[in-house]
């Protein structure tokens, strides 16, 4: 903790809380990925024959399944990259889909139509628009009305096999397909966790400006913050000390008045409505500090924030007569010249 300053200590605790929360979320991300891997491993170990999935009452789609196929024929396409096929073994008909780019891979395996070849994939619900094509194709092939809408389930079932090359079923592709809920959860917790962790670490690093560098238990910025002459703007979370402007929002930002090149107020709007204003502080080395966020929603709050910002800019001018105040073309041109020199 930093001296007895409750405001700074509270801000320091907040950044530590972000680090802890971020770390916990990252651990949860790892747990979700592990749970997804276990879930996929269990599915793979318990892969069943396509017909066993068809006759189930529940959990029919998204299952890893296989079928030992003796032959197949195409009856429909979906776009340019997917074909639907009627397939069969010794006793049953099935519907399966094969990606066009994989068709040659499977076609080369069928060198003997008396031998069954195992196809792996994931079960999906048969699209309604595909049923009429399957009915017509099989009836034309058998030259009789073997299947219709009334007995479609008895002939083909209600799910088809979305065929994948075997490495994809047993590798990362299968994991992504069967563990999507775990992956979505891991993505969200990982994203928020990483943002919190990195934000917390960055804010914690900013507190180094308050560490004792004199070796005698004293820090100039901290000492000035605690001085009687220092003014604190509670709504803006900003200190004006004798030599420093110090922001204590989302970490610590401190700048000497003598180092300020340009300062001005920026209005922030959400959906066209002004909700807060903040100070843009530009230093002589081109660094930019955005601080002093003040609520402007409502006339009273807007007026109070405007008064505080005017007072702060006036105080900066007292401490640094050469500072440029306000946003205009002259000051912008001067800033652009500063950037060219730095």
State how far the Cα of 190 lies from the Cα of 183, in Å rounded to an integer. Answer: 10
Do 166 and 300 lie in one domain? The reply is no
> What are the tens digits of pLDDT across the range 186-204?
899 999 999 999 999 999 9
Least confident of 128-137, 162-171, 240-249: 162-171
What are the pLDDT digits (tens) for 59-105? 888 888 889 888 889 998 887 788 999 999 888 999 999 888 878 87
Residues 201 and 217 reside in one and the same domain:
no
Residues 180 and 275 in one domain: no
- The structural domain count of the chain equals 2
Considering the domain architecture, whether residues 160 and 236 belong to the same structural domain is answered as no
Spatial distance between the Cα atoms of 259 and 257, rounded to a whole number of angstroms: 5
* Enclosing domain of residue 88: 1-209
pLDDT recorded at residue 168: 47
Q: Same domain, yes or no, for 259 and 178?
A: no
Same domain, 201 and 248: no
* Residue 178 pLDDT > 60: no
Burial (CB < 10 A; 0-12, 13-18, 19+), residue 75, is buried
> Is there a single domain that holds both residue 163 and residue 287?
no
* pLDDT tens digit sequence for 250-287: 899 999 999 999 999 999 888 878 788 999 999 999 89
Boundary (domain end) residue, out of 209, 232, 265: 209
Q: Does residue 292 share a domain with residue 167?
A: no
Is residue 168 located within the same domain as residue 312? no
pLDDT at 329: 94
Token pair of 81, please?
Answer: 């990259």
- For residues 62 and 141, state if they share a domain: yes
**What is the CATH number for 296?**
2.30.29
Which of the listed residues 209, 233, 268 is the one where a domain comes to its end? 209
**Same-domain pairing of 109 and 188:** yes
pLDDT for 48 beyond 70: yes
Query: Which of 209, 227, 244 is the last residue before a domain boundary?
Result: 209
Torsion angle of the four alpha carbons 189, 191, 196, 202, in this order, in degrees rounded to the nearest 10: 150
* pTM given for the model: 0.62
Together in a domain, 155 and 166: yes
């Amino acid at each position: 903790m930093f001296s007895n300053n409750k405001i700074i200590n509270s801000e320091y605790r907040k950044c530590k809380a972000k680090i802890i929360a971020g770390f916990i979320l990252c651990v949860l991300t790892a747990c979700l990925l592990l749970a997804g891997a276990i879930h996929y491993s269990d599915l793979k170990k318990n892969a069943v024959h396509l017909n066993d999935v068809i006759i189930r009452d529940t959990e029919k789609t998204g299952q890893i399944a296989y079928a030992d196929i003796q032959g197949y024929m195409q009856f429909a396409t979906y776009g340019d990259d997917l074909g639907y096929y009627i397939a069969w073994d010794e006793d049953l008909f099935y519907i399966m889909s094969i990606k066009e780019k994989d068709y040659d891979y499977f076609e080369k395996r069928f060198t003997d139509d008396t031998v069954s070849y195992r196809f792996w994939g994931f079960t999906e619900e048969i699209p309604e628009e595909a049923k009429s094509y399957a009915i017509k194709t099989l009836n034309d092939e058998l030259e009789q009305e073997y299947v219709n809408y009334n007995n479609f389930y008895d002939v083909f079932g209600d799910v088809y096999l979305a065929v994948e090359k075997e490495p994809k079923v047993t590798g990362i592709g299968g994991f992504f397909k069967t563990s999507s809920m775990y992956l979505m959860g891991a993505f969200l917790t990982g994203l928020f966790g990483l943002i919190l962790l990195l934000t917390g670490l960055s804010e914690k690093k900013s507190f180094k400006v308050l560490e004792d560098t004199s070796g005698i238990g004293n820090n100039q910025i901290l000492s000035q913050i605690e001085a009687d002459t220092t003014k604190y703007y509670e709504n803006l979370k900003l200190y004006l000390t004798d030599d420093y402007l110090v922001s204590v929002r989302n970490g610590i930002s401190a700048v000497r008045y003598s180092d300020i090149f340009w300062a001005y107020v920026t209005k922030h709007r959400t959906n066209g409505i002004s909700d807060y204003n903040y100070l843009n502080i530009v230093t002589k080395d081109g660094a930019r500090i955005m601080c002093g966020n003040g609520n402007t929603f409502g006339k009273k709050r807007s007026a109070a924030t405007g008064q505080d910002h005017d007072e702060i800019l006036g105080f900066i001018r007292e401490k640094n007569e050469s500072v440029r105040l306000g946003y205009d073309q002259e000051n912008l041109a001067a800033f652009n010249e500063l950037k060219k020199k730095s």
